[in-house]
Amino acid sequence: MTATVLTERFDRALLYATHIHGGQVRKGTTTPYVAHLLAVAATVLEYGGDEDVAIAALLHDSAEDQGGKARLEDVRNRFGERVAHIVEACSDSLANTAAGERKAHWQERKESYIAHLKEADRDILSVSLADKIHNARAILRDLRKPEVGENIWSRFSQPKERTLWYYGTLADTFREVLPGQLADELREIVDVLRS
């Protein structure tokens, strides 16, 4: 097995991600958002992803959270078609903010995203699963903090039951389309969150 080599492209992607997510923090915390992006990229690399997939992991929220279709085009111009394809596929909505488009309803977006995963390629699945596993780990960690506990659920736009439905369905889907240790871990975390 050959080690993945990270070049100046990865450095530029990290700088870009830090710039566009600058000042952003994780929901309900003071943790810089870039910590999440680094965790997702690290997970992708730890499970065999190459540099393009790791760059897409760093940028997976760039278009969805920071500029829509215009941001996606900037990612494409800077980092190439493969990275942009993964970023676009990992977004559950890409409203054209310049044109005033609004996101679809939460349930519709989530069901569409889950259906999309069943047709996605391995690169997309790797970034998406790394993202969801880090999110689930963060929920579990904060749920176990005495100062947060059950209040964790107030961070989400949907109630606990809907959020857990989404993560449970994701876990089942990933166990089907990308079976392995990470998909199993996501299922285990969701089971603990439900208990």
Q: What is the pLDDT of residues 161-187, one digit of tens each?
A: 999 999 999 999 999 999 999 999 999
pLDDT of residue 91: 84
pLDDT of residue 101: 53
Q: What secondary structure letter does DSSP report for 147?
A: T
Q: Evaluate whether 115 touches 102 at the Cβ level (below 8 Å).
A: no
Residue 193 CB partners (closer than 8 Å, separation 6+) = 136, 139, 140, 143, 164, 167
Range 82-89 average pLDDT? 95
CATH of domain 8-99: 1.10.3210.10
Residue 32 pairs in a beta bridge with: 25
Reported as a single tens digit per residue, the pLDDT across 10-69 is 999 999 999 999 888 888 788 899 999 999 999 999 999 999 999 999 999 998 877 788
Reported as a single tens digit per residue, the pLDDT across 101-124 is 566 788 888 898 899 999 999 999
Q: Evaluate whether 144 touches 192 at the Cβ level (below 8 Å).
A: no
CA distance 131 to 90: 9
For the chain, the domains span 8-99, 106-194
Q: Which residue has the tokens 């969801």?
A: 132
Which pair of structure tokens corresponds to residue 118?
A: 């069943």
Which pair of structure tokens corresponds to residue 154?
A: 């107030």
